[in-house]
Amino acid sequence: MSQPPKTAVKRRDFLKVLGSTGAAATAVGCSQERVEQLIPYLVSPDHTVPGVSTNYATVCRECAAACGVIAEVRDGRAIKLEGNPDHPVNHGALCAKGQSALQGLYNPDRYRGPMIRQGDALAPATWEAALTLVRQRLDEARAANGGGGVRFVSQHENGSFGAFVDQWMSAGGFGAHVAYDPEADLAARAANQAEYGTPWPALDFSAARLIVSIGADFLDGWGASVAHQLSFADARAKLGDAPRFVYVGARRSLTGLNADEWLACRPGSELAIANALLAAVGGAGGGTIAEAAAASGVSEASLQRLADELRAATPSLVLGGVKTPDAHLVAQAAARINRAAGNVGVTIKPDAGLAGIGGAVGAQAMAALATEMNADAVRVLFVRGANPVHSVPKAALFAEGMAKVPFKVSFSSYPDETSELCDVVLPDHHGLESWGDSEPVRGTLGLQQPVMDPVFNTRSTGDVLLDLARSNGAMASRMPWATYRDFIMSRYPTGRGAFTEALAKGLGQGSSLARTVATPTLASTATAIAGDGEFFLVVHPSPALGAGAGANKPWLQELPDPVSKIAWQSWVEIHPSTAARLGIAPGDHVTVTTAAGSVTAPAYLYLGIQPETVAVALGQGHAAYGRYAQGIGVNAVDALGAAYDGGGALALSQAKAQVAKAAGHSRLVTVEGSARQHGRGIARALTAAQLAAGETGEAHHEFIGDASHEFLPGLRAPVANDAQGDMGSQGSNDKGMYAPDHWSGMASRRWAMTIDLARCTGCSACVTACYAENNIPTVGARWQGRSLRPFHTADGAGWDTTPGANILKGREMAWLRIERYFEGGEDGASDFETRFLPMLCQHCGNAPCESVCPVFATYHAPDGLNVQVYNRCVGTRYCSNGCPYKVRYFNWHGYGEVDRRQYAFPEPLHLQLNPDVTVRGKGVMEKCSFCVQRIRDAENVAKLENREVQPDEFTTACAQACPSRAITFGDAANEAWSVARQVDDPRAYHVFEELNTFTAVVYLQKVNHPAGGTR
């Protein structure tokens, strides 16, 4: 089902081609201009104006946080997701996962209609046939034991759906409904519930003076990352007064890389450290520093310093979020530290917090279900959204259990490992095609509405369940609603009319959705990390792919991991000193063996991992799940046994492991060239002390003899100034559009951007936003590689089918990339600093790319944009050679051409393409345009409304999405715009200012808070 498009050249065809000569060459290349017909609507649907977007507020379903999103719909197709600015969780920002929901909606591997198993394979069927079969088997199950053998597994969803299924199951007299969430931090929720009385209190980072995270990756997947990030960035934006951040953990995650200091402890020793800190702040039940040092391998001095700091800095914020079997105890200890330090109510706000996340269960519950199935106690299994076959350890025997269930029904949209084992597939609508609700924070309801007609022949699971209930009198009376929407509206606290009104904003008041679930009691013990082996194995969710749900979305596969910068691949993180000892070079295959199993993947040498530890990310290793996910990397769950934390979630750091070099070597699919900036002052930072002393920067190499520009903002455009000033033509006063008083007013503007590195966390949401907005092709899929030899066969032999083959060749197309530079730690032992630098076209006022283009395909617009005209580009690539920032990207293959093997938008992914932006053909250069389509749109709208463009009226896609609010875009020539004020910041600098490029992107230096700083 997931064959790449059959476009390989046969040998005969190649010989025919070979026979022709240069004349033919010119003929075959010009086939891009496809003739299509435009037929306007005779009677236009309501609210549909061709070419004008309609925006619908709805709910993101990519994780439990249930952020609010605004879906931009053009001509009946959703083309972009942006955060809902009024939403209490995400305040307008949206992470990469959330934005990629569109690629779930338009996923080419979605089930296009109901399927029924015929022999070994699922075959398309009609809804009538599929529903009849399900009805019949349900009746049989009911007849057998009153329906007690029916089980329902759903992907946990914030909102009413869980309660709806509960009601349906009990109406039918069926067995349990389990709402599975493989990514939820159930241990922390259980501990929070026990300590704070709420599963997820709101965290106010900016109120803290010291942040200590004990394995809590609050920026990459631990809880509501977007909400945390907004608050964390606000805290960091306090610059000199910002809280110092210490990360304690075995592996430096993205969150860890944002820390000022990292204490590398052994996995499993976090509890001892937490207890020592608890004692330091005077809490009961703590431990000693000496014990913690002995257990963790962290020096006593460091721990003592941290303890002293924690005692001194109030308020502080201590988070416990490890994934060990004793995670609940660590979280509990962290909560007790907060209580003892007086942080509760200041930095920890139990009365705000996330709601609607209750009722989720982890892998332990799935293992229990598997036991039931293996005992032949389950007759009918319903699965919706969840993919336990992939995410539950093999030791739980889930797949084997499913094989014993006589009838399995999947509501999954995608052919994942679990649904491929089912007998009937009743594909659900995607979240963007569905009704629903959520309670993101207590007292606020997020409303989910369909933003477009279903892409495929799918039906809402709620409606299907109601349909199934209708055929049974008893069930029908307990499930009286005509549709699932009806059910949602009936639950809305203030009535149907209010629901319809609230829909426009996507938010309503009230709280009625809580699913009644028993509060788990927090266990006071935990199993220890066990097993043979010299090393600890740390498994962690991938920031982009999560536990695997993101793997079928090419944007997320293509998004380099924020830490390792690897895409389309699995890797084993190993400390350089350990690798040297074992004779392992980067890319050498490494086998990690635990008692439960083993995984083999190429080694990535990472300074940010404790030397006795190796780490593997979750997310890859799919045996099914569509063309983008299948056969890429390894599933780290294969090395995990059935060990769970106190919340019932799978303990990801549960075992010791043996690490051995295996046969084989794979080049790492990384976008990283050098991880060091070689003193070139690209990503700059100041310490808080330097900032306080009024210093403007650290030492870095510069051209000798070149003075800095006195106009630091550097927003002058010599090209425009030439036309206006001394260097303009002496013979003519006509400066055309470059004259500031030209009627177009273009030259009076200077579009510019500031990027605050103190805020940026490297999360990469901006990168995905750029892909979505600008129709950037993903290039890492198996069928997008280059030819390896002249003769190909139809099955793809002869092409480079390595996942990420193009990225191995440095051909990723990300107009905006996040560079991740390390500073310090060269000795492999001392702590190091990480600097994230979003790099995009700098829109130089004096652009080296412009003068070298032979055909004016790139030129300088009067309003300061460095413009790329795709239609004019002949593809000499000289502009890229001239560019010191290396932000120009070339279309090496026909990524935008349907007929080409490397086509990046297989049907119906192309429905996502932004109609305002050209899809580039092969052989042309492309680059960041500062979202010129948005600029022109804002200008046109202002003109239609006969007014000026208002300051900060619009922004670019990256700035819009950024959950750190690190990016500010606007007109730097007009003081009313925020960007014009930000460029006056003393931290402002240009990258490679000495090259006289007069860039329009101004970076604001990061501010570090080293230990023993001025605080």
* Closer residue to other proteins, CB minimum distance, 513 or 857: 857
301 in contact with other proteins (CB under 8 A): no
Q: Is 824 in the site for other proteins (CB under 8 A)?
A: no
The reply to whether 604 sits near other proteins by the rule CB under 8 A is no
Task: Report the residue number, 41 or 856, with the smaller CB distance to other proteins.
Answer: 856
Cα separations in angstroms, 886 against 391, 762, 768, 811, 990? 39, 19, 19, 12, 15
- Closer residue to other proteins (CB): 32 or 53: 32
Residues whose CB is less than 8 angstroms from the CB of residue 921 and which lie 6 or more positions away in sequence, other chains included: 32, 870, 891, 894, 896, 897
For residue 439, report the phi and psi dihedrals to the nearest 5 degrees: -125, 85
3-state helix, strand, coil in the chain (%, to 5): 30, 20, 50
Piece of the chain touching other proteins by CB under 8 A; list 188-196, 301-309, 513-521, 814-822: 814-822
Alpha-carbon span 16 to 392, nearest angstrom: 52
In whole angstroms, how close is the CB of 834 to other proteins at the nearest point?
A: 13
According to the binding rule CB under 8 A, does residue 810 interact with other proteins? yes
Closest contact distance (angstroms) between CB of 686 and other proteins is 21
Q: Does residue 923 belong to the site contacting other proteins (CB under 8 A)?
A: yes
CB of 1010 to other proteins, least distance (A): 24
Residue type for position 1015: R
Rule CB under 8 A: is residue 19 a binding residue for other proteins?
yes
Q: Does 853 bind other proteins (CB under 8 A)?
A: yes
User: From CA 654, how far away is CA 530, in angstroms rounded?
Assistant: 7
Region 273-292 residues binding other proteins, contact defined as CB under 8 A: none
Give the Cα separation of 621 and 391 in Å (integer): 10
* Least Cβ distance, residue 856 to other proteins (angstroms): 5
Specify the length of the chain in residues.
1015
Strand partners, 966: none
Residue 566 forms beta bridges with which residues?
670
We find the least distance from the C-beta atom of residue 801 to other proteins, in angstroms, to be 14
Binding residues for other proteins, total number by CB under 8 A:
75
Q: What is the DSSP string of 531-581?
A: -SSSEEEEEE-BTTTBTTGGGG-HHHHHSPPTTT-B-SS--EEE-HHHHHH
In angstroms, what is the minimal distance from the CB of 790 to other proteins?
7
Contacts to other proteins from residues 948-977, by CB under 8 A:
none
Q: Which is closer to other proteins, CB of 24 or CB of 829?
A: 24
- Give the integer Cα–Cα distance in Å for 768 and 653: 30
Residues 6+ apart with CB under 8 A from 192: 198, 199, 200, 201, 331, 335, 350
992 binds other proteins (CB under 8 A): yes
The answer to the question of residue 839 lying near other proteins (CB under 8 A) is yes
Question: Looking at beta carbons only, is 876 or 933 nearer to other proteins?
Answer: 876
Shortest separation between residue 220's beta carbon and other proteins, angstroms: 21
| Residue 732 contacts other proteins per CB under 8 A | no
Interacting residues with other proteins between 769 and 798 (CB under 8 A): 786-790
Nearer to other proteins, 277 or 865 (CB): 865
Q: Is 576 in the site for other proteins (CB under 8 A)?
A: no
Q: Is 361 helix (H, G, I), strand (E, B) or coil?
A: strand
CB nearer to other proteins: give 163 or 669: 669
621: CB partners within 8 A, 6+ apart = 390, 548, 570, 599, 632, 633, 634, 635, 636, 637, 638
Measured distance between the N- and C-terminal CA atoms of the chain, rounded to whole angstroms: 60
Closest approach of Cβ 737 to other proteins, in Å?
A: 16
The residue among 472 and 677 lying less far from other proteins, judged by its C-beta, is: 677
* Window 478 to 497, contacts with other proteins (CB under 8 A): none
- Structure token digits, residue 370: 């598997």
Among 3, 12, 30, 732, binds other proteins (CB under 8 A): 30
Q: Which stretch binds other proteins (CB under 8 A): 10-18, 491-499, 504-512, 769-777?
A: 10-18
The dihedrals phi and psi of 401, each to the nearest 5 degrees, come to -65, -40
154-213 binders of other proteins (CB under 8 A): none
Exactly one of 344, 498, 852, 867 binds other proteins (CB under 8 A); which one?
852
The DSSP code sequence of 827-867 is TSSS--EEEEEEE-----TT-HHHHH-TT-SEEE-TTS-EE
Nearer to other proteins, 854 or 1012 (CB): 854
- The residue with tokens 């600015």 is 85
Residue range at the interface with other proteins (CB under 8 A); choices 248-256, 299-307, 844-852, 961-969: 844-852
Among 6, 478, 665, 701, binds other proteins (CB under 8 A): 701
Residue 839 Cβ vs other proteins, minimum distance, rounded to whole Å? 7
- Span of 25-33, 148-156, 593-601, 606-614 interacting with other proteins by CB under 8 A: 25-33
Q: Using CB under 8 A as the criterion, what x/- string covers residues 641-670 for binding other proteins? A: ------------------------------
Name which of 394 and 860 has its Cβ closer to other proteins. 860
Q: Which of residues 857-916 bind other proteins (CB under 8 A)?
A: 872-878, 880-882, 884-886, 889-894, 900-902
Non-local (6+) Cβ contacts of 850 within 8 A are: 719, 858, 859, 860, 866, 879
User: Which residues touch 539 (CB under 8 Å, ≥6 apart)?
Assistant: 323, 615, 616, 617, 618, 636, 637, 639, 640, 652, 653
**Pairwise CA distance, residues 609 & 495, whole Å:** 54
347 is an interface residue for other proteins by CB under 8 A: no
832 near other proteins, judged by CB under 8 A: no
- The whole-angstrom separation of Cα 382 and Cα 18 is 56
Contact string 124-163 vs other proteins (x = CB under 8 A)? ----------------------------------------
CA dihedral 814, 815, 816, 822 (to 10 degrees): 60
Query: φ, ψ for residue 866 (rounded to 5)?
Result: -95, 110
Query: Is the peptide bond prior to 315 cis by the omega test (within 30 degrees of 0)?
Result: yes
Per CB under 8 A, the list member of 496, 809, 943, 947 interacting with other proteins is 809
Chosen residue from 51, 473, 854, 1012 binding other proteins by CB under 8 A: 854
The binder of other proteins chosen from 12, 22, 47, 699 (CB under 8 A):
22
CA distance 771 to 780: 14
Residue pair 803/779 in contact (Cβ under 8 Å)? The answer is: no
Coil, strand or helix: which one is 870? coil
5 near other proteins (CB under 8 A)? no
User: Is there a contact between 72 and 79 (Cβ–Cβ < 8 Å)?
Assistant: yes
CB of 817 to other proteins, least distance (A): 8
Q: Which is nearer to other proteins, 361 or 723 (CB)?
A: 723
Question: Does 434 interact with other proteins (rule: CB under 8 A)?
Answer: no
Q: Minimum distance from CB of 680 to other proteins (Å)?
A: 7
Residues in 669-698 that interact with other proteins by CB under 8 A: 672-674, 676-680, 682
**Options 116-124, 206-214, 344-352, 816-824: segment touching other proteins (CB under 8 A):** 816-824
Token representation of residue 570: 């699995």
Check binding of 11 to other proteins (CB under 8 A): no
Which of 185, 638, 756, 819 forms a contact with other proteins (CB under 8 A)? 819
802 binds other proteins (CB under 8 A): no
Nearer to other proteins, 787 or 978 (CB): 787
Residue 4 phi/psi, 5-degree rounding, is -65, 160
- Whole-number Å distance between alpha carbons of 252 and 236: 19
